[in-house]
Amino acid sequence: MRGAFLNKGLAMFSNKKSTGPVLQPEPVIPVDQRKTMETLMADDCRWPIGDPQGADFHFCGKRKVDGHPYCDFHVRRAGQTSKPRTVAYPHFAG
Ligand SMILES: [Zn+2]
């Protein structure tokens, strides 16, 4: 009986639609617009780009969406990735 139950579970997975959201490619930030820890402003998107240990590591730096640490593009990107880089968004009062 246990085997039949497992098969049922697997069938549910295989029925999953394959038409998921398509990830858009990361926007390339021009070098002179890149933000670092030093230049990132409170209203800038703080989506990390590149290797944090690398010399070219920077943040997105676009105008962020109110209530989110990221710009419109990266708010959506954060919602699409299965492993969010941040814990759940805090709900800001007001
Ligand atoms: Zn961004």
The answer to whether the CB of 68 falls within 8 A of the CB of 89 is: yes
CA of 94 to the centre of ligand 1 (A): 23
Residue 6 within a domain: no
Q: What is residue 20's predicted lDDT score, i.e. its pLDDT?
A: 66
In this prediction the pTM is 0.58
Count how many domains the chain has. Answer: 1
For residue 36, the CA-to-ligand 1 centroid distance in Å is 13
pLDDT value, residue 35: 93
Q: Give the range of the structural domain holding residue 72, as residue numbers without chain letter.
A: 30-83
How far away, in angstroms, is 92 Cα from ligand 1 center?
20
Distances in whole angstroms, Cα of residue 37 to Cα of each of 40, 46, 60: 6, 9, 11
Q: CA–CA distance from 39 to each of 1, 42, 59 (Å)?
A: 62, 10, 10
Question: Residue 41: inside a domain, yes or no?
Answer: yes
Does some domain include residue 21? no
- How big is the CA angle at 94 (ends 63 and 38), to the nearest 5 degrees? 35
Within-domain flag for 90: no
Output the CA 46–ligand 1 centroid distance in Å: 7
- All residue ranges of the chain with pLDDT < 50 are none
CA of 40 to the centre of ligand 1 (A): 12
Rounded to the nearest whole angstrom, what is the distance from the C-alpha of residue 4 to the centroid of ligand 1? 47
pLDDT at residue 25, as a whole number = 83
Domain presence at residue 5: no
The pLDDT assigned to 29 comes to: 87
As a whole number of angstroms, the distance between CA 82 and CA 57 comes to 22
Identify whether 57 is part of a domain. Answer: yes
